[in-house]
Amino acid sequence: MSFLVNLALGLLFGAGLVVSGMSDPTKVLNFLDLFGTWDPSLAFVMGGAVLVTFIGYRLVLWRDRPVAGGHFRLPTRKDIDARVIVGPAVFGIGWGLGGFCPGPAFAAVGLAATGTLAFVPAMIVGMWAARLIAESRPQAKPA
């Protein structure tokens, strides 16, 4: 049952990405081009996502456990290390260069969007390499 709930939520999320335009790299790149062909429409998408997340977390965390899972897996670390700085920087650079981030990229594969056949395999290789690097380094203890 958990698999079906997660599948339905993933499909809903992917459909939202397609409908909102987040799976269109041209629209994303225009949003990021503040001094050129700026398209502010994705700001409303992000604002809506922040609002839904803000309300959703408050409603969900009132429960003792998740509907589709054994227990909540919330972050416990509060320290800032190099991974917290470098990871988002690499993510942002990739997003700015390619016009895709992981969720919309996978949704765009289903649409056969231009560039996804190169971007998604490169993204998977990058995720694999990041995991190998992370596993090869000693982990810092939380403060």
For the four alpha carbons of 9, 10, 12 and 16, in that order, the dihedral sign comes to positive
Contact indicator for 14, 107 with CB cutoff of 8 Å? yes
Please report the pLDDT score of residue 133 as a whole number.
Answer: 86
User: CA torsion 11→15→18→23, rounded to 10°?
Assistant: -20
Q: Using CA atoms, how far apart are residues 19 and 15, in angstroms rounded to an integer?
A: 6
Q: What is the mean pLDDT of each run of 10 residues along the chain (143 residues)?
A: 84 88 86 90 91 92 83 87 88 84 84 81 89 80 54
Q: What are the Cα distances from residue 10, in Å, to 15, 27, 133?
A: 9, 22, 28
Supply the pTM of this predicted model.
0.64
pLDDT for the residue numbered 65: 86
Q: What tens digit of pLDDT does each residue of 77-99 get?
A: 889 988 889 888 988 888 888 88
Residue-level pLDDT at 140 = 57
Q: State percent of the chain over pLDDT 70.
A: 95
Residue 48: the pLDDT is 92
